[in-house]
Amino acid sequence: MAGAPGHVDAGAGLTTDADRAEVERLLGRPAQGAYEVVVRHPDGSPLVIRNAPLLDDGRPMPTRWWLVGEPERTRVSRLESAGGVDAAEADVDPAALAAAHAAYAAERDAAVPPGHAGPRPAGGVAGTRVGVKCLHAHYAWYLAGGDDPVGRWVHERIDGPVALGSGE
């Protein structure tokens, strides 16, 4: 997918107990649903997780890709706090952004269990249908291989992107 620097793990079940403990530490709380570590730092620590489309209690989880790793999460937070959401929205082609939202939603929606009759996740990246809501979500998807113009925009602007290793 479009030259993103990360690598998506091909198989399910690659997330270890140590990964789960580290993700919980990084989040500052237990995860509320199933996920896989799909992008790792060169040292093997989690960088991006892919969430199941539904939380353990059945509530929809619109954010499929989640940036958990440091220092990337802090760098993106700094960019956001400096007006990055508005800047990205102004700089990125609206048609490319709309296409990214549609592709993100389609991938996530395809993972909803067949026959699920309850509420479903909605929107595209970070649950929004238009514009930019969260640079972290866009960057996470980009690192995982998504063709996300906002994620690419973030990657070009964060201070000293960390070289990424394989998730395998």
The pTM of the full predicted model, rounded to 2 decimals, is 0.84
pLDDT for 141 beyond 60: yes
pLDDT for 104 beyond 80: yes
What are residue 7's phi and psi, to 5 degrees? -135, 130
Please report which confidence band the pLDDT of residue 160 belongs to, taking 50, 70 and 90 as the band edges.
Answer: low
CA–CA separation, 60 and 127 (whole Å): 10
Token pair 């198989």 in the structure block, residue: 11
Check residue 10 and give its pLDDT.
37
CA–CA separation, 161 and 168 (whole Å): 20
**CA quadruple 77, 159, 4, 34: dihedral sign:** negative
CA–CA separation, 22 and 15 (whole Å): 11
Average pLDDT over residues 140-152: 94
CA–CA separation, 89 and 132 (whole Å): 6
pLDDT for 30 beyond 50: yes
CA end-to-end distance (rounded Å), the chain: 17
Average pLDDT over residues 84-106: 94
Please report which confidence band the pLDDT of residue 2 belongs to, taking 50, 70 and 90 as the band edges.
Answer: very low
Contacts of 87-94 with C-beta under 8 Å, sequence gap 24+, read 88/132, 88/135, 88/138, 88/150, 88/153, 88/154, 89/131, 89/132, 91/153, 92/132, 92/149, 92/150, 92/153, 93/149
Check residue 145 and give its pLDDT.
93
Amino acid identity of residue 8, one-letter, is V
Amino acid identity of residue 168, one-letter, is E
